[in-house]
């Protein structure tokens, strides 16, 4: 058994490596550009919604009051007429990604901590590189990628965008696995 504290360096470095490669993927590679489409008549839609002063948050429309309402004729008619949507409203103004980048780095650390925990419980000091790679990589893949599938299953997220994000998660998991294998005590 290997303690989490003795794995502080692979936890930290894997988070740094994932943070850097995720920045490269999203800033310089173009394969995520097609994840979202512009609404038809975007300016008109924005202008019409602007008057409602919708606070930042997640919304669904039409929104049923409860499970019984989902079967009501009124609700079913609203769905039939459409549009049906899940919308995330962000604060207006000049975007700042500082908070999101900090949260992402913390998330990368948390995935590394879980990879350290699982690997450290399963393996002894001096374990072979490929054994460490397998445990740390599988755990990291679960943290970075597998849970993304439910966004397409339940919330209608485009499968192409989800698949690309799962691919990114595989890259992050491989980086994490390699870092843990390299620095395993």
HSE-CB at 26 with a 13 A cutoff on CA atoms is 12
Reported as a single tens digit per residue, the pLDDT across 135-159 is 999 999 999 999 999 999 999 999 9
Question: Are residue 57 and residue 24 in the same domain, yes or no?
Answer: no
Question: Are residue 108 and residue 46 in the same domain, yes or no?
Answer: no
HSE-CB at 96 with a 13 A cutoff on CA atoms is 4
Question: Are residue 66 and residue 28 in the same domain, yes or no?
Answer: no
Question: Are residue 143 and residue 177 in the same domain, yes or no?
Answer: yes
Looking at the structure of the chain, the number of domains it has is 2
Query: What is the reported pLDDT for 65?
Result: 93
Question: Are residue 15 and residue 61 in the same domain, yes or no?
Answer: no
Query: What is the reported pLDDT for 29?
Result: 94
Reported as a single tens digit per residue, the pLDDT across 80-118 is 999 999 999 999 999 899 999 999 999 999 999 999 999
The SS3 of residue 69 is helix
Tokens of 162: 């989800």
Q: Are the beta carbons of 163 and 134 closer than 8 angstroms?
A: no
Question: Are residue 101 and residue 85 in the same domain, yes or no?
Answer: no
Query: What is the reported pLDDT for 11?
Result: 98
Q: Tell how far CA 69 is from the center of its chain.
A: 31
Reported as a single tens digit per residue, the pLDDT across 21-74 is 999 999 999 999 999 999 999 999 999 999 999 999 999 999 999 999 999 999
Question: Are residue 178 and residue 102 in the same domain, yes or no?
Answer: yes
Q: Are the beta carbons of 177 and 112 closer than 8 angstroms?
A: no
**Domain that residue 64 falls in:** 42-89
> What CA–CA distance (Å, rounded) separates 9 from 161?
32
Question: Are residue 69 and residue 146 in the same domain, yes or no?
Answer: no
What does the DSSP assignment read for 92-160? SSS---HHHHHHHHHHHHHHHHHHHHHHHHH--TT--HHHHHHHHHHHHHHHHTGGGHHHHHHH---HH
Question: Are residue 24 and residue 105 in the same domain, yes or no?
Answer: yes
What values do phi and psi take at 89, rounded to 5?
-100, 125
Query: What is the reported pLDDT for 47?
Result: 94
Question: Are residue 75 and residue 103 in the same domain, yes or no?
Answer: no
146 CB neighbour count, 10 Å cutoff? 13
Question: Are residue 101 and residue 146 in the same domain, yes or no?
Answer: yes
What length does the chain have? 185
């Amino acid at each position: 058994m290997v303690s989490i504290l003795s794995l502080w360096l692979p936890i930290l470095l894997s988070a740094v490596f994932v943070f850097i490669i995720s920045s490269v993927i999203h800033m310089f590679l173009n394969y995520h550009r097609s994840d979202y489409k512009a609404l038809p008549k975007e300016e008109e839609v924005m202008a019409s919604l602007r008057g409602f002063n919708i606070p930042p948050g997640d919304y669904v429309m039409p929104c049923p009051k409860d499970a019984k309402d989902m079967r009501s004729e009124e609700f079913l008619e609203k769905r039939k007429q459409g549009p049906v949507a899940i919308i995330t409203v962000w604060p207006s103004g000049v975007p700042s990604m500082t908070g999101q980048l900090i949260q992402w780095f913390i998330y990368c650390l948390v995935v590394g901590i879980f990879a350290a925990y699982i690997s450290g419980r399963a393996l002894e000091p001096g374990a072979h590189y490929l054994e460490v790679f397998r445990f740390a990589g599988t755990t990291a893949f679960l943290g970075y990628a597998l849970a993304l599938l439910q966004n397409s299953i339940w919330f209608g997220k485009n499968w192409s965008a989800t698949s690309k994000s799962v691919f990114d998660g595989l890259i992050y998991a491989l980086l994490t696995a390699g870092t843990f294998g390299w620095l395993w005590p």
